[in-house]
Amino acid sequence: MIPSLVEGAVLGAAFETLFGEVKIIIQKAVKFKDKLNRIKRKLEGLENPIKQIQAQEMVLDLSQFRTKDFVEELEEGKKLVSKCLSVSKWWNVHKWPGYTTKLLELDESLKDLLEILQAQLGTVQMETLKLVRHMHADSMRSQEPKLQESWNAKGFCEVPEPPEFTVGLDAPLEELKMELLREDSSVLVVTAPPGCGKTTLVKKLCWDDEIKEKFNNIMFVKVSKMADLKLIVQLLYEHNGREGPPLRDEEDAAIQLERLLKEIGHISMLLVLDDVWSGSESLINKFIFPIPDYKILVTSRSEFPGFRPTYKLKTLSDENATTLLCHYAILADESSNIQDDVVKKVVQHCKKVPLALELVGTLLRGRAQEIWERKVEEWSENSSVLSFEDKLLACLKSSLDFLGEKDVKLKECFMDLASFPEDKRIPATALIDMWTELHGLKESHAAANLFELHHWNMANVVITRRDAYEKDGYYSEHFVTQHDMLRELAIHQSRQEPEEQRKRLILELNGNKLPNWWNEPNEPTFNAHLVAITTDRNFSSKWCNMKLPEAEVLILNFQAENYALPDFLKSMSKLKVLIITNHGFFPAKLSNFELLSSLTNLKRVRFECVVIPSLTETSIKLENLQKLSLFMCKVAHAFGSIKISEVFRSLEEINIDYCTDFAYFPAGFCDIVNEKLKKLSITHCHKLSKLPDEIGNLINLELLRLRSSIRLENLPDSLCKLYRLTFIDISNCLSIQYLPEHIGEMRGLTKLNMTDCSRFRELPPTVLDLEELKEVVCDEDIKELWEIHPFEDDKKINLRLAKEDYHLRWL
């Protein structure tokens, strides 16, 4: 039985009293005319649902929505509207801001009531219909059309009206309209992180005159996380004035849906599926039928690769975000005195997310500047706007919870993204190194998680390599960016545990603004497995001697010309991954480099934009290091005359990218003692002109990548000794003219990338002996060189033209 809490007669009486008062006062209270008109429109929207409740003597289950308060608010609203007539006189000008705020609060209450009544009314009607059909299938069949007609369920798939005030949607509206009106697209997906305005944009689109002219029947269905195909089909039947048939299961629902759409398919149709969650591709497929002039528009927090095109809604500009905040906070009112710099700080904390701007603007509406400033201070020092806005937190956290339900490790990977500075691109290789050691993932699985997060709009993968479509395990030109509010979400969730017990210790040290425990006499101990410390250019304090006994990953981000590694490194006995990144323009000089020798479990090191000091002078040994990555570093004096094989006894992979002074590959890396090296990648090192003959000593080498080494003139003949080498990438090596003469001896070679090797004129005859070669990636000229060689009929090589795709938006 449904609890009896709010009867239609009680609600209707309060509603009619308020509606009548508004109609009388609206013409007289000139000062509040706009606000009263908004309330009048809300009341007009409420009129039909309340009349239905009264007509059918319904009792609704609204206990969770404080509906007793709704009746009281309607009665208080009547008193408020009555007072507006006297307050609107000029001598009461000092009262205008307060009454403006109260009217807007009334407007919000009416909006909430409308949404709740529509949802509850729809549920009651559908459940009642199901009950009637189940219990009285024969006797009630003749009465159901009347029941359906009196309840007028058509309204539940009508397109809701968009908000009266929006910003920044004009251009997206035109772009989305063009995509939707294209003849070749049957399913269009609009995607963005939660709270960014996807649904608002689609509502505006459906109310656009050109779209309404194109589509005679627009149906809007709220899908959400727990999608019920049978209920959706019932609603669509009711919406189109038809009796919904009994549905046995989802397969039967799909059959009946197709029947309905074909029956009404003589007119053009647009079906909007709003808020479709990831993993619901099969649900979307059930709505696809070969019907002329029928299209589907989907909004989702996630991308659906199986459906194209996808429209990504962009973040608001600073100007539009400020305008939206000012609207909800009524800062356009002449009595407002909030300073611009305070407004700007609030916008920054809201990360330009429309939902956050609306909620925070409403929260601060009519408040004194001191309260605004106090909020900014609270958000800056203690937490974020998420700590004060439960509705915003719930909206964002629902995506995070869903991620955890799908894959716990994927959720942990999302949380790790907050370890990197705000608004900085995150190197994909750094994340792969972290996740491999921290979460026990294979490198390929860690890379897959990047694209999973991209798919769910929890991060954005940007690929800057020209041949972005190549799948060869090269991720040095993949970067990850993240919406600032999602980063705030990860940080907020990380802070739910005591600082000493958190999985992630994330410190952002600006100037000399330090945590309270930094200068305490006792050395603080933290049990975090991931430690990330970011310092700015003004940081000048001495490092705190904290203890990090459980840390497996340490990320140091800084901006400085000189940077001293912290002394607490010496005690990090479990550290496996060290990532050091200078975000300044010029490479920074590192000191205390010898501390790395104490890290006996260190497996992976990545340096970015630093000067690697001479290893001869530091006497450093990294005997267990397996992977060394240098990005945009100065390395000319690093390796000197040291016996490299003794410093790096366990090295399996070397990545040297964009190191502009790297002119030669030290022969010491090719020492026969160091036979563990499997991957050697030297890319975009424009001074590299020669490889040592000793490279043939790397008998276990499986991958050699030399892409964009534009001065490299040849490959040494000793490469032909590397029988385990399976992949060579010499793409964009503009100076290479020949492959090694005896390349046919490379029995294990399966793939060769020769794209943009423009000086090649011929291939050695021994390429015919490459028995395992399966694929050559090249351009048209190189393809012709391979085609003239008389390979045996049973020898098939895939000569594939490189496909270029430029992604330079990260710049």
For residue 428, the model assigns a pLDDT of 94
Spell out the residues 6+ positions from residue 89 whose beta carbon is closer than 8 angstroms to its own: none
Higher confidence at residue 69 or residue 635?
635
- Across the chain, mean pLDDT equals 78
Query: Can you list the positions of beta strands (E) in 658-804?
Result: 679-683, 703-705, 727-729, 751-753, 775-778, 798-801
For residue 140, the model assigns a pLDDT of 35
435, containing H or E segment: helix 428-438
For residue 110, the model assigns a pLDDT of 67
CA angle 37, 43, 46 (to 5 degrees): 150
Q: Is the pLDDT assigned to residue 764 strictly greater than 80?
A: yes
**Rounded to an integer, what distance in angstroms lies between the CA atom of residue 606 and that of residue 593?**
14
The domain limits of the chain are: 1-151, 156-314, 318-382, 406-487, 498-662, 705-811
Q: Is the pLDDT assigned to residue 754 strictly greater than 70?
A: yes
Worst-scoring range by mean pLDDT, 106-120, 549-563, 698-712, 742-756? 106-120
Percent of the chain exceeding pLDDT 90 equals 20
Query: Averaged over 529-539, what is the pLDDT?
Result: 89
Query: Averaged over 209-215, what is the pLDDT?
Result: 87
Q: 157-171, 255-269, 378-392, 522-536: which has the highest mean pLDDT?
A: 522-536
Worst-scoring range by mean pLDDT, 242-246, 343-347, 437-441, 574-578? 242-246
Chosen CATH of 705-811 out of 3.80.10.10, 3.30.56.10, 3.40.50.300, 2.60.40.180: 3.80.10.10
Contact 296, 273 (CB under 8 A): yes
Q: Is the pLDDT assigned to residue 216 strictly greater than 80?
A: yes
For residue 384, the model assigns a pLDDT of 63
Longest CA span, the chain: 100
Q: Is the pLDDT assigned to residue 404 strictly greater than 70?
A: yes
CB contact burial 156-180 (16+ within 10 A = b; e otherwise)? bbebbebeeebbbbeebbeebbebb
Worst-scoring range by mean pLDDT, 127-136, 707-716, 768-777? 127-136
Q: Is the pLDDT assigned to residue 109 strictly greater than 70?
A: no
For residue 437, the model assigns a pLDDT of 95
Task: Give, in words, the CATH class of 156-314.
Answer: alpha beta
pLDDT band at 137 (very low <50, low <70, confident <90, very high): very low
Query: Averaged over 150-177, what is the pLDDT?
Result: 73
For residue 236, the model assigns a pLDDT of 85
Name the 3-class secondary structure at 6: strand
Q: Is the pLDDT assigned to residue 556 strictly greater than 90?
A: yes
Confirm whether 156-314 and 318-382 share one CATH topology: no
Higher confidence at residue 55 or residue 163?
163
Q: 179-193, 300-314, 395-409, 624-638: which has the highest mean pLDDT?
A: 624-638
Q: Is 256 exposed, middle or buried (0-12, 13-18, 19+ CB in 10 A)?
A: buried
**Rounded to an integer, what distance in angstroms lies between the CA atom of residue 483 and that of residue 273?**
24
Q: Is the pTM of this model over 0.75?
A: no
**Rounded to an integer, what distance in angstroms lies between the CA atom of residue 392 and that of residue 359?**
8
Report phi then psi at 174, rounded to 5.
-65, -40
Percent of the chain exceeding pLDDT 70 equals 75
Higher confidence at residue 388 or residue 456?
456
Q: 70-79, 367-376, 397-406, 779-788: which has the highest mean pLDDT?
A: 779-788
Higher confidence at residue 654 or residue 457?
654
Worst-scoring range by mean pLDDT, 156-170, 404-418, 470-484? 156-170
pLDDT digits (tens, 9 = 90+) for 220-269: 888 866 567 887 888 888 778 777 778 888 888 888 888 888 888 778 88
Higher confidence at residue 36 or residue 179?
179
26: Cα separation from own chain's centroid: 45
pLDDT band at 806 (very low <50, low <70, confident <90, very high): very low
pLDDT band at 145 (very low <50, low <70, confident <90, very high): very low
For residue 48, the model assigns a pLDDT of 60
**CATH code, residues 498-662:** 3.80.10
**Rounded to an integer, what distance in angstroms lies between the CA atom of residue 666 and that of residue 270?**
64
For residue 458, the model assigns a pLDDT of 80
| CA-wise closest residue to 448 among 397, 409, 500 | 409
Q: 116-120, 133-137, 157-161, 719-723: which has the highest mean pLDDT?
A: 719-723
Task: Give, in words, the CATH class of 406-487.
Answer: mainly alpha
For residue 225, the model assigns a pLDDT of 60
Name the 3-class secondary structure at 183: coil
Worst-scoring range by mean pLDDT, 196-200, 580-584, 613-617? 613-617
Query: Averaged over 69-92, what is the pLDDT?
Result: 62
Contact 235, 126 (CB under 8 A): yes
**CATH code, residues 318-382:** 1.10.8
For residue 150, the model assigns a pLDDT of 29
Query: Averaged over 670-693, what is the pLDDT?
Result: 83
For residue 516, the model assigns a pLDDT of 82
Q: Is the pLDDT assigned to residue 129 strictly greater than 70?
A: no
Q: Annotate 588-615 with DSSP letters as a single string.
A: EEEE-GGGGGG-TT--EEEEESEEPPPH
pLDDT band at 391 (very low <50, low <70, confident <90, very high): low
Q: Is the pLDDT assigned to residue 685 strictly greater than 80?
A: yes
Tokens 């999602």 belong to 486
Q: Is the pLDDT assigned to residue 65 strictly greater than 60?
A: no
Q: Is the pLDDT assigned to residue 373 strictly greater than 90?
A: no
Residue 309 CB coordination number (10 Å) = 12
Name the 3-class secondary structure at 508: strand
Contact 611, 580 (CB under 8 A): no
Q: Is the pLDDT assigned to residue 302 strictly greater than 70?
A: yes
For residue 601, the model assigns a pLDDT of 93
Spell out the residues 6+ positions from residue 690 whose beta carbon is closer than 8 angstroms to its own: 664, 712, 713, 714
